[in-house]
Structure 1
């Protein structure tokens, strides 16, 4: 039951629909030729750029500005509840950050979220500023990163480049599938 809102959210974020008039409806059957309509009709859904630029505020366990990378590292089984709020309902609590709505997620009590600083705390100080890759994807913005401790497989400093990562030294965070 908890997966339904997550799937709905996924389809909203990933959806890009478009439709056009087919030639079959604009054909002169007697002369077997296409009739050019006076105006073409094109129906489009919102673009991905518009959805990303106008994304809602994600709040996980009362942590505002939860980064979507950390969000993708949450196991759906760890979600206790998820609520979607319109701006009018939460503008007093979150202000203008919530102008595109709020998706509030409450995790089960046994789920522990680690900040990036806490996660990298065991590394040498000189290594903490290296580029970070999470499952071979470069982390651009370090702000608002929280990862579920149960999903972290390893955190290592890599000393040489790989097939996917061309940097000589970097922090490699692997998450469990």
Structure 2
């Protein structure tokens, strides 16, 4: 009798296993269910150093100028100058200058120039669909083609927000841009 019960249980398990293999995506046993695909939310977490351009603080992703124009003048890693800057200087600080002195505009000035309505100014800022730090944004107007309001692509696995209807202010640069800008 024990032998018959063992064969019956084996046949039942083998049959369910064979059935689940013939129907991909289906499982004979609920414990074998696969977890749902995970989506991630993109955050601005950079290992890039803080850039000091005169009295302005910026970083490479938030600075829209020709990279050939950037001249590093001083690099600070473990220095007393980093202490007052706090955590934003944890990856070091590079003091820079531009070869050709030109006026760079902060985000509010760029939005004024392109006449962005007040109700859109609170949106998170992207440059060519890449999230940037709006507080550190500096730009040469010649690099900016247009500013548009967009929503994120619903099929991309790395999301900018869990809210699929969230709108963003996307700054589109000319083809001469750098690093995806």
Give the structure-2-normalised TM-score.
Answer: 0.51
Structure 1 unaligned regions, length at least 5: 1-50
CA RMSD of aligned residues (A): 3.4
Kept after mapping to 2: 8 A contact 1:111/1:150: no
Among 162, 172, 175, which residue is 2:173 paired with? 175
Larger Rg: 2
Q: What is the distance in 1 between the residues matched to 2:74 and 2:134?
A: 26
Q: What is the distance in 2 between the residues matched to 1:96 and 1:129?
A: 26
Are 1:104 and 2:95 counterparts?
A: yes
Q: What is the distance in 1 between the residues matched to 2:91 and 2:120?
A: 37
Q: What is the distance in 2 between the residues matched to 1:67 and 1:101?
A: 11
Equivalence for 2:149: 157
Are 1:123 and 2:116 counterparts?
A: yes
Note closer, same or farther for the CA distance 1:86–1:137 as it changes in structure 2 (3 Å cut).
Answer: closer
- Deviation, 1:112, is 2.2
Note closer, same or farther for the CA distance 1:101–1:173 as it changes in structure 2 (3 Å cut).
Answer: closer
Kept after mapping to 2: 8 A contact 1:87/1:99: no
Note closer, same or farther for the CA distance 1:63–1:132 as it changes in structure 2 (3 Å cut).
Answer: closer
Kept after mapping to 1: 8 A contact 2:82/2:92: no
- Deviation, 1:95, is 2.7
- Deviation, 1:162, is 6.0
Structure 2 unaligned regions, length at least 5: 1-45
- Deviation, 1:167, is 4.3
Higher relative contact order (CA 8 A, sep 6+): 2
Q: How does 1:59-78 map to 2 (within 5 A)?
A: 59-64=52-57, 66-71=58-63, 73-78=64-69
* Residue-by-residue CA offset, 1:91-136 (whole Å, 9 max, x unaligned): 2586353565421111134322111111112211112123332101
